[in-house]
């Protein structure tokens, strides 16, 4: 086993760090404070900026304009993006990952040609519509339906909490085409373009964190799509969603790590500059031990993320569990680390002008999005019991 990054991975880290520090980080606070119309404009610009250095194509095939890099390289770049602006990470990830990955894995050649080059260039924005007002953790209980009428499909239902909903050109919509068959073979995924009759977007949610990444409902009212809109095969939607979320969980772990790493960087610098009782506060053990704990927690996150990425890359049968382990650890570590960072900043940590305030609000989503911590633990425990119960 070799823990060293390859020369290519080291240069990815350096290039993304430089680019994001210069181009993305200065916009993070502005995005966080902007009203919704401004957010839409700014986040689209950020998506284009990230596309300009190839970020959105890292996981995609060269035939469509991607660079087809390994998942560890993607995590390395992702940590830098998230450290600069977590909202930018989330919106890019929803478009090229949650939307782009299932199109790559399950789409027809025509669907890949239609969407992937634009997604990779940041000219098309995608989103992933699984969650509903009554079905989040229990995704199998979605109520959206797809009914075949002649050569058309009619979709009805509401999706909620959808990242990029207000800026997306296209959405993946998961719907029951045959409830009696259950989720395993009764759900189908549809590609629904913006502007399709009967397809509309709700009011954006006013969120605690990730305020620079728009979130809203998607509403389907007798929305008519053709057979070509089916992703892969009829009845395969739920499995496609679960497979996509495995990548998504590594992504949520990575955004949590980026937030944590940025908190440590700010706390380290501030504690050196801030004095109390005649000395820098990092000379007090209570403060320096917080810095040490922040490093211990975030280093473990990074190792678990690389392990999960490597497992997924090499088709390890344990990869789904490793992704859950990485997500639980990295997200819970990030909420602890961001809280410690606010504490190190004292009163200033509570003021919006100081970045740890935003990082503290952003961190919490890691424990909720793409499967809550509780659901990850349910899956980890089920797997353990299956393997080790007598």
Ligand X SMILES: Cc1cc2nc3c(=O)[nH]c(=O)nc-3n(C[C@H](O)[C@H](O)[C@H](O)COP(=O)(O)OP(=O)(O)OC[C@H]3O[C@@H](n4cnc5c(N)ncnc54)[C@H](O)[C@@H]3O)c2cc1C
In the shown chain, the binding pattern of residues 195 to 234 toward ligand X, with x for contact by CB under 6 A and - for none, equals: ------------x--x----x-------------------
Complex with ligand X: residue 129 or 251, whichever CB lies closer:
129
With binding defined as CB under 6 A, does residue 130 bind ligand X? yes
**DSSP 3-state helix, strand, coil percentages of the chain (rounded to 5)?**
60, 15, 25
For the segment 361-380, give every residue that binds ligand X (CB under 6 A): 365, 368-372, 374-375, 378
**97 near ligand X (CB under 6 A):** no
Query: Looking only at residues 163 through 182 of this chain, which bind ligand X when binding is defined by CB under 6 A?
Result: 163
In whole angstroms, the minimum distance from the beta carbon of 210 to ligand X comes to: 5
Nearest residue relative to ligand X (C-beta): 136
Considering the rule CB under 6 A, would residue 145 count as an interface residue with ligand X? Answer: no
Question: Is 370 one of the annotated active-site residues of the chain?
Answer: yes
Least Cα distance to 267 among 286, 248, 253 occurs for 286
157 touches ligand X by CB under 6 A: no
Residues in the chain: 390
Copy the structure tokens of residue 388.
Answer: 């080790």
Select 66 or 371, whichever has its Cβ closest to ligand X: 371
Give the nearer residue to ligand X in terms of CB position, either 33 or 374: 374
Q: Which of residues 310-339 bind ligand X (CB under 6 A)?
A: none
* Ordered DSSP codes for 257-277: HHHHHHHHHHHHHHHHH-EET
Among residues 23, 246, 357, 370, which one is catalytic?
370
According to CB under 6 A, which one of 66, 102, 136, 258 is a site residue for ligand X? Answer: 136
Judge residue 195's burial from the number of C-beta atoms within 10 Å of its C-beta, 0-12 exposed, 13-18 middle, 19 or more buried.
exposed
- How far, in Å, are 16, 68, 78, 121 from residue 57 at the CA level? 14, 7, 12, 8
> What are 176-180's contacts with CB under 8 Å, separation 24+?
176/142, 176/143, 176/144, 176/145, 176/146, 177/145, 177/146, 177/147, 177/148, 177/153, 177/234, 177/235, 178/235, 179/145
190 binding ligand X? (CB under 6 A): no
Does position 86 interact with ligand X (CB under 6 A)? The reply is no
Q: List contacts with ligand X (CB under 6 A).
A: 94, 127-131, 136-137, 161-163, 207, 210, 215, 365, 368-372, 374-375, 378
Residues with a known catalytic role: 370
């Amino acid at each position: 086993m070799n823990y060293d990054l390859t020369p290519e991975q080291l240069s990815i880290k350096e290039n993304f760090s430089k680019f994001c520090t210069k181009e993305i980080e200065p916009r993070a606070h502005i995005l966080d404070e902007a009203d919704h119309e401004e957010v839409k404009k700014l986040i689209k610009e950020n998506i284009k900026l990230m596309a300009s250095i190839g970020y959105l194509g890292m996981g995609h095939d060269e035939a469509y304009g991607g660079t087809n890099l390994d998942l560890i390289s993607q995590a390395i770049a992702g940590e830098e993006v998230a450290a600069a602006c977590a909202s930018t990470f989330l919106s890019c990830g929803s478009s090229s990952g949650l939307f782009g990955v299932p199109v790559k894995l399950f789409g027809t050649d025509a669907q890949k040609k239609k969407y992937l080059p634009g997604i990779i260039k940041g000219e098309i924005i995608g989103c992933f519509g699984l969650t509903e007002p009554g079905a989040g953790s229990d995704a199998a209980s979605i109520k959206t339906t797809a009914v075949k009428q002649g050569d058309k499909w009619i979709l009805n239902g509401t999706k909620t909490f959808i990242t990029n909903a207000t800026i997306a050109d296209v959405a993946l919509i998961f719907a029951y085409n045959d409830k009696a068959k259950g989720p395993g073979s009764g759900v189908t995924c549809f590609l629904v373009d913006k502007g399709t009759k009967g397809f509309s977007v709700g009011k954006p949610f006013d969120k605690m964190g990730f305020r620079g990444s728009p979130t809203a409902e998607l509403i389907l009212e007798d929305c008519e799509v053709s057979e070509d809109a089916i992703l892969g095969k009829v009845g395969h939607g739920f499995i496609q969603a679960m497979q996509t979320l495995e990548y998504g969980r590594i992504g949520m772990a990575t955004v949590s790590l980026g937030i944590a790493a940025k908190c440590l960087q700010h706390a380290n610098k501030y504690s050196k500059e801030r004095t109390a009782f005649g000395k820098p506060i990092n000379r007090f053990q209570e403060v320096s031990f917080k810095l040490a704990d922040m490093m211990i927690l975030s280093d473990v996150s990074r190792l678990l993320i690389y392990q999960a990425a490597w497992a997924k890359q090499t088709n390890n049968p344990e990869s789904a569990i490793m992704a859950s382990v990485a997500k639980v650890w990295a997200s819970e570590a990030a909420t602890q680390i961001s809280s410690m960072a606010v504490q190190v900043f004292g009163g200033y940590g509570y003021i919006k002008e100081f970045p740890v305030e935003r990082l503290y609000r952003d961190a919490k989503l890691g424990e909720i999005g793409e499967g809550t911590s509780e659901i990850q633990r349910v899956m980890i425990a089920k797997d353990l019991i299956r393997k080790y119960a007598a």
